[in-house]
A and B are shown apart, each in its own frame.
Chain A
Amino acid sequence: MIGVGKIKHYTNLLEKPLSRGRQEVSLSAFAFLFSELVQYNQTQVDNIAELERRLEDAGYAVGARVLELLCHREKVADSLEKGTEHEDEYMISEKELLVNRFISIPKDMGAFNCGAFVAGIVKGVLDSAGFPAVVTAHFVPMEGQQRPRTTILIKFAEEVLRREARLG
């Protein structure tokens, strides 16, 4: 099983300096890699829900680690809103999500959203920070715009809200 017998030289790896935190790669390198990731997963699943789930899991693994290394993007997301219907819901929306920029969805895949990967990253970050939540990605069609916005919906777990109430 992955993870068993994993880390032999744990201390050595942690002792390495984080000096190169600001390195970059080309956007297209990331886009190519992500595209292969999606294509590979397509061969492993039977339906869209499973595909999104797998992408979300992959993203989760990223998020759990990225919390320490932050600086995800140069600019902040387009907007952060609080949901009106439920106390525990927040939304982050973005006009053109990085992972969706170079991906086109064939018609027979309907509502599939590669934002599931980003949702997974957000979930991973929140979980590691002690704010468990259910995170999903949704397309929101916008009037007058060709491509829909992507909204990441965050629904915090009960315990988070209870804790906020206690501390607030």
Chain B
Amino acid sequence: MAPLVPKTGDAIFASIDRVNAELFTLTYGAMVRQLLTDLEEVDVVNKQLDQMGYNIGARLIDEFLAKSNVSRCVDFKETADVIAKVGLKMFLGVTASVSNWDPEGSSFSLVLDDNPLVDFVELPDTFQGLHYCNILSGVIRGALEMVSMKTEITWIRDMLHGDDAYELRVKLLKQIPEEYPYKDDE
């Protein structure tokens, strides 16, 4: 079989079904509002958003791999580029930039200027501790864990807190080697 050519984020985004971003944004807003009403504590909501994102990421990775034809990433740097240019584009229709690599190449910053989750959103004073887009950190963490990378993701900059962009710090904790359910030599 001929090797599959990896597609660009734009090409994939153009070829899949899309919906109005506002519906997506408003639905996310409704969900965050529900969580705040039910759970009340900002820290609990942050955790819940992360967990929901994790669940999504674990399923989303299959679709990502199927539609993007990317081959195995050679190193973490490639992973970062793929997330920023292909992954985010494919699902959210936006791209991010990768920066601030640490000297070992095990953590980087993902910077988003455009974020469909937060259109028309303002945080009231009572919820300043809320990481409104925490679902994103969960999605990335969940997706990466399904491809054998355990990561830790934290928010560095948040436009809803007055910063000029959204910045996520992605740190690779360890690579989990794939375990096969049986051993050949047994």
Contacts and interface: CB of A to CB of B under 8 A. Distances in A.
A167 interface: no
B38 interface: yes
B92 interface: yes
Contacts of B65: none
Contacts of B60: 28, 32
Interface in A72-124: 72-73, 98
A33 B31 contact: yes
B181 interface: no
A57 B31 CA distance: 10
Nearest to A27: B17
A44 B34 CA distance: 11
A27 B16 contact: yes
Contact of A23 (B17, B21, B52): B21
Given A29-B91, A36-B56, A66 B17 contact: no
Contacts of A58: 27, 30-31, 33-34
Nearest to B120: A13
Nearest to B36: A2
Contacts of A147: none
Interface in B143-168: none
B126 A5 contact: yes
Interface residues of A, number: 41
A2 B37 contact: yes
A72 B92 CA distance: 17
A41 B48 CA distance: 12
Interface string B31-56: 10111111000000000100010011
Contacts of B34: 37, 40-41, 54, 57-58
Q: With a 10 A CB-CB cut-off, give which of A2, A36, A37 has the most chain B CB atoms.
A: A36
Contacts of A26: 13, 16-19, 90-93
Contacts of B122: 7-9, 13
B184 interface: no
Interface in A21-65: 21, 23-30, 32-37, 39-41, 44, 54, 57-59, 61-62, 65
A71 interface: yes
B75 interface: no
Contacts of A36: 31, 52, 55-56
Nearest to A7: B122
Looking at A2, A27, A32, A40, which has the most chain B CB atoms within 10 Å of its CB? A32
A95 to B, nearest CB: 16
Given A23-B20, A26-B92, A58-B33, 10 more contacts: A2-B37, A26-B13, A26-B93, A29-B91, A29-B92, A37-B31, A61-B30, A62-B30, A66-B26, A73-B19
15 contacts: A5-B126, A6-B124, A25-B18, A26-B17, A27-B19, A29-B91, A36-B31, A37-B30, A37-B34, A41-B34, A62-B23, A62-B27, A62-B29, A69-B22, A98-B19
